[in-house]
Copies of this chain bind each other. A is one copy, B any other.
Amino acid sequence: MNTWKIEQVGKKPKLDNPILIEGLPGIGNVGKVAIDFLIDELKAEKLFEISSYSFPHSVFVNEHNLVELPVVEVFYKKFKGKRQDLLLLSGDVQPTDEVSSYEFSEKILDLIASFKGKEVITLGGIGLGEVPKKPIVYCTGSSSKIVKKYKSKLVNDKLYGVVGPIVGVSGLLVGLAKKKKMEGIAFLAETYGHPMYLGIKGAREILKVLDNSLGLKINMKRLDKEIKEIEQDMMKKTDQLSEVSKQTALKKLKSKLGSEVDYIG
């Protein structure tokens, strides 16, 4: 299905061999939280808007009470000096089915290749049964070469047996990178596997890893201040939400069963 639209926003910059970092929604939204902070912190500029008929057929209401289509965006950050330039992939959604997930991932790798980039970093979460005190960051990659490159005290590379399959774009980008003679690495931080839980702490640990590996000079104090604010907000909301959702969920279940009554073949 030829339903992908990639719109360029502004001028295409000259980037030299950039690394793309991906953080789409997933468990605990760990990847999304990390990439959105990074885009903000680095003052990265928007380069592409990607929309698709295979994204969810729904819209969001934003803080200005206006409607927004689900969108995935690519930002870039050009550094002076030795640091490698970055492309940053953030979005409201993931592609919803197998075929579009593969198609999307290939398009992103082609986009990196169009800037002569050869490396992709993906960010995600590992859902635990309880809130981790200090989330461990695991990594896995397309080759032992890239795993060695990013290995440090901050990262555990013994992921085998810890998780099942890595589902979605975070997994496919690394898997398909190898096929395209690129390199890929995934950083996955532990988080609480509850759908209401936002994996900020996991995102923080991932940001420390990226900061250390790529020399990003992230202002960790600012990050920690933001984390405190978000956590206080969330504690209030969660109380309300969990009550509402329990009731609505039961209603939903009942109505699903009820709505299948009376069919004829």
Contact = CB atoms under 8 A, between A and B. Distances in A.
* Copies per assembly: 4
A138 to B, nearest CB: 9
A102 B57 contact: yes
Contact of A175 (B67, B99, B245, B258): B67
Which residue, A31, A97, A186, A246, has most C-beta atoms of chain B within 10 A?
A97
Contacts of A3: 99, 102
A40 interface: no
Nearest to A57: B101
A170 B265 contact: yes
Interface string A185-208: 010100001111000000000000
A117 interface: no
Nearest to A31: B265
A249 B245 contact: no
A62 B159 CA distance: 9
B144 A175 contact: no
A110 B208 CA distance: 49
Contacts of A252: 257, 260-261
A18 interface: no
Nearest to A106: B53
Interface string A94-116: 11111101110000000000000
Interface string A1-31: 1010000000000000000000011110001
A39 B62 CA distance: 32
A59 B127 contact: no
Interface string A234-257: 000000001011111111111101
Contacts of A60: 165-166
A53 B67 CA distance: 29
Interface of A: 1, 3, 24-27, 31, 51, 53-69, 94-99, 101-103, 124-127, 129, 140-144, 147, 157-160, 162-168, 170-172, 174-176, 178-179, 184, 186, 188, 193-196, 242, 244-255, 257-265
Given A56-B167, A65-B140, 17 more contacts: A26-B265, A57-B95, A57-B98, A57-B102, A57-B171, A59-B171, A59-B172, A60-B166, A61-B166, A67-B175, A69-B175, A167-B264, A168-B265, A193-B248, A245-B258, A246-B258, A249-B257
